[in-house]
């Protein structure tokens, strides 16, 4: 399976997967409407501009490039915005995926890799979240991703469309080449915001809450490097194809770091003592989100290779020299 359509391949995670697919001998073709993605993130790869709502355009691209599998990264990702504007999220993250899946079935393309999220689990009831943890999202963003997971189960049953759903924990870091990295507008993620404070592009980093039931009172998250995630996509794609079955994996390191710990590491790595301001909690943030990556380790042979220091160092390299 060589010709892979990467929907949202001009975005943060998509562009890292595209680069790795190419390096491993695949022919990725990017399909992106560039509403959030960056054309500069697509290097030496065909970029087909188009929208998921446009079935004619999708069909044209499927045929032109003899697409054999689809990876889907194009989604809205902000939890807070999803609470305020759920309609936008259900249209973009659910309806348009349905369109894509229908189009795949019409063109007899039966392999799909889906970007899911730890947000499908909601408030954790176990310290580490495994694939058997109940899925009870607490915001529309998590709902949309879980809905697509359910749609995928039904599409497998009815049409034999096989899928991998990868539930990312906190995707972070940047490619070591410095050519691609994280660039969201607006930026809401902790690591880029911390590094922008270090770079003097922001006055301070605002910490959302220090009264959580965690050792230092700030939220604990499981940070996983974007290239570790990219590697997991290719391993999972290959396993799905080889075994012709649908798969689900939680992708994190299994280690949690608090916001305060991360800020201290960032100060040490950058050598800059930037300003930190404590504020009230942000709505919808669980205290602790840490993956149990045992299944991905056992079945894919996947173990993250970047630790938090390397994640921050690669993100810092990107922040200092960002191209877009
Ligand atoms: N945080 C701050 N200050 C900021 C930004 C974030 O203190 O300026 C805190 C948040 O409160 C949270 C932690 O830093 O405790 C991480 O926040 P991020 O926004 O970087 O990431 P989230 O854990 O909220 O969300 C990420 C993805 C989501 C996904 C979720 C799943 O961005 O898309 O992981 O776990 F749904």
pLDDT digits (tens, 9 = 90+) for 228-254: 999 999 999 999 999 999 999 999 999
Q: Whose CA is nearest to atom 36 of ligand 1?
A: 119
- The alpha carbon of 191 and the centre of ligand 1 are apart by a number of angstroms equal to 9
Which residue's CA is minimally distant from atom 19 of ligand 1?
A: 189
Domain ranges within the chain, ordered by starting residue: 3-172+224-251, 190-222+254-320
Do the Cβ atoms of 118 and 129 come closer than 8 Å? yes
3-172+224-251 and 190-222+254-320 share one fold:
no
Task: Please compute the mean of the pLDDT values over residues 178-206 and round it to a whole number.
Answer: 97
Mean pLDDT of 193-205: 98
Q: What is the reported pLDDT for 1?
A: 59
Return d(Cα 111, Cα 104) in angstroms, integer: 9
Say whether pLDDT at 163 is over 70. yes
Terminal alpha carbon distance of the chain: 32
The order of strands in the sheet holding 162-168 is 46-49, 27-32, 3-7, 69-72, 111-117, 162-168, 247-251
Average pLDDT of span 245-272: 98
User: Which tens digits make up the pLDDT trace of 109-155?
Assistant: 999 999 999 999 999 999 999 999 999 999 999 999 999 999 999 99
Among protein residues, the one with the nearest Cα to ligand 1's atom 11 is 208
Pick the CATH number of 3-172+224-251 from 3.40.50.720, 3.30.70.920, 3.30.450.20, 2.60.120.1440: 3.40.50.720
How far, in Å, from the CA of 122 to the mean position of ligand 1?
Answer: 13
- Taking CA atoms, 320 is separated from 30, 90, 202, in Å, by 27, 36, 13
pLDDT of residue 80: 86
Question: Model confidence over 48-76: pLDDT tens digits?
Answer: 999 999 999 999 999 999 999 999 999 99
What percentage of residues in the chain have a pLDDT greater than 70?
100
Cα 55 to ligand 1 centroid, rounded to whole Å:
34
Q: Classify residue 66 as left (phi > 0), alpha (psi -120 to 50) or beta.
A: left
Q: How far is the CA of 103 from the centre of ligand 1 (A)?
A: 34
- Dihedral sign computed on CA atoms, order 167, 153, 145, 192: positive
Q: Which is it for the CA torsion 70, 301, 251, 293, positive or negative?
A: positive
Ligand 1 site residues, Cβ closer than 6 angstroms: 77, 79, 117-119, 141, 169-170, 188-190, 193, 206-208, 219, 221, 259, 282, 285, 289
Of the listed ranges 180-189, 214-223, 279-288, the least confidently predicted one is: 279-288
**Fold (topology level) of 190-222+254-320:** UDP-galactose 4-epimerase; domain 1 (3.90.25)
pTM of the model: 0.97
What's the pLDDT score for residue 183?
Answer: 96
Specify the length of the chain in residues.
Answer: 324
CB atoms within 10 A of CB 149: 18
Task: Answer whether residue 284 shows pLDDT above 90.
Answer: no
Residues marked active site are found at: 141
């Amino acid at each position: 399976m060589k010709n892979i359509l990467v929907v949202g391949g001009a975005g943060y995670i998509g562009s890292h997967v595209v680069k790795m697919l190419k390096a491993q001998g695949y022919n990725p073709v990017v399909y992106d409407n560039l509403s959030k993605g960056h054309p500069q993130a697509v290097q030496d790869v065909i970029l087909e501009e188009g929208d998921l709502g446009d079935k004619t355009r999708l069909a044209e691209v499927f045929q032109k490039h003899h697409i054999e599998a689809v990876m889907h990264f194009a989604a809205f990702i902000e939890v807070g915005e999803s609470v305020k504007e759920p309609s936008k999220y259900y249209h973009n993250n659910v309806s348009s995926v349905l369109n894509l899946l229908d189009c795949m079935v019409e063109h007899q393309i039966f392999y799909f890799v889906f970007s899911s999220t730890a947000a499908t689990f909601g408030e954790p009831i176990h310290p580490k979240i495994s694939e058997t943890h109940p899925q009870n999202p607490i915001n529309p963003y998590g709902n949309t991703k879980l809905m697509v997971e359910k749609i995928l189960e039904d599409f497998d049953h009815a049409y034999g469309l096989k899928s991998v759903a990868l539930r990312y924990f906190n995707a972070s870091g940047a490619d070591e080449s410095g050519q691609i990295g994280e660039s969201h507008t607006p930026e809401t993620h902790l690591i880029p915001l911390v590094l922008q404070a270090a770079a003097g592009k922001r006055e301070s980093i605002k910490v959302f809450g220090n009264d959580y039931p965690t050792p230092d009172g700030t939220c604990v998250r499981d940070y996983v490097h974007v290239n570790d995630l990219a590697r997991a996509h290719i391993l999972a794609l290959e396993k799905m194809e080889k075994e012709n079955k649908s798969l689900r994996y939680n992708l994190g390191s299994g280690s949690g770091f608090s916001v305060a710990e991360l800020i201290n590491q960032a100060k040490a790595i950058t050598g800059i003592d930037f300003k930190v301001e404590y504020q009230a909690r942000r709505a919808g943030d669980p205290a602790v989100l840490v993956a149990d990556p045992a299944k991905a380790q056992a079945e894919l042979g996947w173990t993250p290779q970047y630790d938090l220091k390397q994640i921050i160092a690669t993100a810092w390299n990107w922040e200092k020299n960002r191209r877009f």
